[in-house]
Copies of this chain bind each other. A is one copy, B any other.
C-alpha cells in the first residue's frame, strides 16, 4: 500500500473561544511527535515549571512570547526557535494577549542525561 501523505495548515481548526491552550498533534511516528500549539495570552501557571523527559524543539510561527528559564528569559517573536534539551526547566511566562501565538513543537527522545 502506498504510504499516505498527510498535509494541512496551521490555521485550521482553531476555535473562536480558546479557554485553554490548544494542542494538536500533526504527526507522530518513530518516537517523534510534531504538534501545533495555539496560545491566546495563556501562560504556564505561576510557580509551575515544565521538566520534560523528551528533547523539545519549538518554533514560534506567529505572535509573541516570553520563555522563562531558571537563569534567563527569552523573548520570542515570529521566526524565533529554541531547542530545549530534556529536563531543562522552563515555563511560558507570557504570550501576546488578544492574538493567537502559534508554535510548531517537535518532541523527540532525549539524547542525554
Q: Which residues of A contact B (CB under 8 A)?
A: 2-11, 26-27, 29-30, 32, 34, 55, 57, 59, 61, 69, 74, 79-88, 104, 106, 108-113
A29 to B32, CA, bound (A): 12
Is A30 in contact with B104, judged by CB distance below 8 angstroms? no
A69 to B69, CA, bound (A): 43
> This chain: how many copies in the complex?
2
Is B10 in contact with A79, judged by CB distance below 8 angstroms? yes
Task: List, sorted by A's number, 6 A–B pairs whose CB atoms are closer than 8 Å.
Answer: A2-B88, A9-B81, A10-B59, A10-B81, A32-B106, A61-B61
User: Which of B27, B57, B86, B110 lies in contact with A27, CB distance below 8 A?
Assistant: B57
